[in-house]
Structure 1
Amino acid sequence: MLEAFDFVIFGGAGDLALRKLVPGLYRAHRNGELPEGTRIIPTCRNTQVVAEYKDKVRKAAQEHLREGEFVAADWDKFAQCIHPIFVDIAKKDEHWEELAALLNSGNKQRVFYLSTPPSVFSVCCKHLSEMNLITKTARVVVEKPLGYDAVSAEEINSQIAEYFDENCIFRIDHYLGKETVQNLLALRFANGMFEHLWDAKTIDNVQITISETVGLEGRASFYNDAGALRDMVQNHILQLLCLVAMESPNKMTAERIRAEKLKVLESLRPLTGNSVRFNTVRGQYAAGEINGKAVPSYQEELGNSSSIETFVAIRAHIDNSRWANVPFYLRTGKRMKQRFAEIVIQYKDVAHRVYPESAGRTVPNRLVIRLQPEESIKIIMTSKNLEKHETELRPVVLNFNFADTYKDFFSDAYKRLMLDAAANDPSLFIHRAEVAAAWSWIDPIIEAWQRPENNPQFYKAGGWGPRGADEMIHADGREWFNMDDVFASEDV
Structure 2
Amino acid sequence: MTDTYVNPLRDATDRRLPRVAGPCALVMFGVTGDLAQKKLLPAVYDLANRGLLPPGFSLVGYGRRDWDDEQFTDYVLESVKERARTPFRAEVWRQLAEGIRFVTGGFDSDEGFEQLKETLREVDETQGTEGNHAFYLSIPPDGFDQVIEQLRRHGLVDKSRTTPWNRVVIEKPFGHDLASARELEEKVSSVFSSDSVFRIDHYLGKETVQNMLALRFANQLFEPLWNRNYVSHVQITMAEDIGIGGRAGYYDGIGAARDVIQNHLLQLLALVAMEEPASFEAGQLRAEKEKVLAAARAPRNLKSHTARGQYTAGWAGGQRVRGYLEEEGIAPDSQTETYAAFRVDIDNRRWAGRPFYLRAAKRMPRRVTEIALMLRPAPHLPFHLADTEQLGANALVLRIQPNEGITMRFGAKVPATQMEIRDVTMDFNYGTSFAESSPEAYERLILDVLLGDPPLFPQHTEVELSWKILDPILDYWADKEHQPEGYAAGTWGPPSGRTMLERDGFTWRRP
Please state how far the C-alpha of 1:88 moved relative to its aligned partner: 3.0
> Is 2:59 the partner of 1:40?
yes
In the other structure, the counterpart of 2:146 is 123
> Is 2:291 the partner of 1:257?
no
CA separation in 2, counterparts of 1:50 and 1:72?
19
Please state how far the C-alpha of 1:279 moved relative to its aligned partner: 1.1
Please state how far the C-alpha of 1:271 moved relative to its aligned partner: 4.0
Correspondence list, 1:60-459, <5 A: 60-66=79-85, 69-93=87-111, 94-105=114-125, 106=128, 107-134=130-157, 135-136=161-162, 137-271=165-299, 275-301=301-327, 302=330, 304-360=332-388, 361-386=390-415, 388-459=416-487
CA separation in 2, counterparts of 1:12 and 1:336?
30
Please state how far the C-alpha of 1:173 moved relative to its aligned partner: 0.6
Superposition RMSD in Å: 1.8
- The one of 16, 33, 44 equivalent to 2:35 is 16
Query: Secondary structure of the residue that 2:471 maps to in structure 1?
Result: helix
Please state how far the C-alpha of 1:95 moved relative to its aligned partner: 1.6
Query: Secondary structure of the residue that 1:454 maps to in structure 2?
Result: coil
Please state how far the C-alpha of 1:247 moved relative to its aligned partner: 1.0
Superimposed CA distance per residue, residues 42-69 of structure 1 (whole angstroms, 9 cap, x where no aligned partner): 2222223654212222222232234x73
Identical pairs, percent: 39
- Please tell me the residue identity of whatever aligns with 1:184: M
CA separation in 2, counterparts of 1:472 and 1:270?
14
296-305 or 114-123, larger mean C-alpha shift: 114-123
Superimposed CA distance per residue, residues 432-454 of structure 1 (whole angstroms, 9 cap, x where no aligned partner): 11111111121111111122332
1:118–1:156 contact (8 Å) kept in structure 2: no
Runs (4 or more) in structure 1 with deviation over 3 Å come to: 68-78
Superimposed CA distance per residue, residues 70-121 of structure 1 (whole angstroms, 9 cap, x where no aligned partner): 4455434433342233343322224234234235423242211111222232
CA separation in 1, counterparts of 2:99 and 2:370?
37
39-48 or 209-218, larger mean C-alpha shift: 39-48
43-52 or 221-230, larger mean C-alpha shift: 43-52
Please state how far the C-alpha of 1:476 moved relative to its aligned partner: 1.4
CA separation in 1, counterparts of 2:120 and 2:94?
26
For normalisation by structure 2, the TM-score amounts to 0.90
CA separation in 1, counterparts of 2:90 and 2:482?
54
> Structure 1 residues 379 and 81, CA, compared in 2 at 3 Å: closer, same or farther?
farther
Higher helix share: 1
2:67–2:104 contact (8 Å) kept in structure 1: no
- Please tell me the residue identity of whatever aligns with 1:237: L
> Structure 1 residues 187 and 411, CA, compared in 2 at 3 Å: closer, same or farther?
same
Query: Secondary structure of the residue that 1:453 maps to in structure 2?
Result: coil
- Please tell me the residue identity of whatever aligns with 2:399: R
> Structure 1 residues 313 and 278, CA, compared in 2 at 3 Å: closer, same or farther?
same
> Is 2:504 the partner of 1:476?
yes
Please state how far the C-alpha of 1:303 moved relative to its aligned partner: 5.0
1:271–1:441 contact (8 Å) kept in structure 2: no
CA separation in 2, counterparts of 1:249 and 1:150?
27
In the other structure, the counterpart of 1:490 is none
> Structure 1 residues 83 and 195, CA, compared in 2 at 3 Å: closer, same or farther?
same
1:90–1:120 contact (8 Å) kept in structure 2: no
In the other structure, the counterpart of 2:15 is none
2:69–2:101 contact (8 Å) kept in structure 1: no
CA separation in 2, counterparts of 1:65 and 1:393?
47
- Please tell me the residue identity of whatever aligns with 2:96: F
320-329 or 263-272, larger mean C-alpha shift: 263-272
In the other structure, the counterpart of 1:487 is none
CA separation in 2, counterparts of 1:310 and 1:133?
39
CA separation in 2, counterparts of 1:233 and 1:427?
20
- Please tell me the residue identity of whatever aligns with 1:101: R
Please state how far the C-alpha of 1:3 moved relative to its aligned partner: 1.6
CA separation in 1, counterparts of 2:291 and 2:147?
33
CA separation in 1, counterparts of 2:332 and 2:69?
36
Query: Secondary structure of the residue that 2:55 maps to in structure 1?
Result: coil
For normalisation by structure 1, the TM-score amounts to 0.93
In the other structure, the counterpart of 2:8 is none
CA separation in 1, counterparts of 2:181 and 2:343?
25
Superimposed CA distance per residue, residues 163-199 of structure 1 (whole angstroms, 9 cap, x where no aligned partner): 1011111111111110100111111111111111100
Query: Secondary structure of the residue that 1:249 maps to in structure 2?
Result: coil
> Structure 1 residues 390 and 199, CA, compared in 2 at 3 Å: closer, same or farther?
same
- Please tell me the residue identity of whatever aligns with 1:124: V
Structure 1 stretches lacking a partner, 5+ long = 484-492
54-63 or 201-210, larger mean C-alpha shift: 54-63
1:173–1:236 contact (8 Å) kept in structure 2: yes
CA separation in 1, counterparts of 2:145 and 2:479?
34
Tell me how many residue pairs correspond in the alignment. Answer: 479
CA separation in 1, counterparts of 2:123 and 2:95?
21
CA separation in 1, counterparts of 2:84 and 2:179?
39
In the other structure, the counterpart of 2:14 is none
Query: Secondary structure of the residue that 1:83 maps to in structure 2?
Result: strand
2:396–2:408 contact (8 Å) kept in structure 1: yes
Superimposed CA distance per residue, residues 322-375 of structure 1 (whole angstroms, 9 cap, x where no aligned partner): 001101111111111111101001111111001223424322211111111221
In the other structure, the counterpart of 2:7 is none
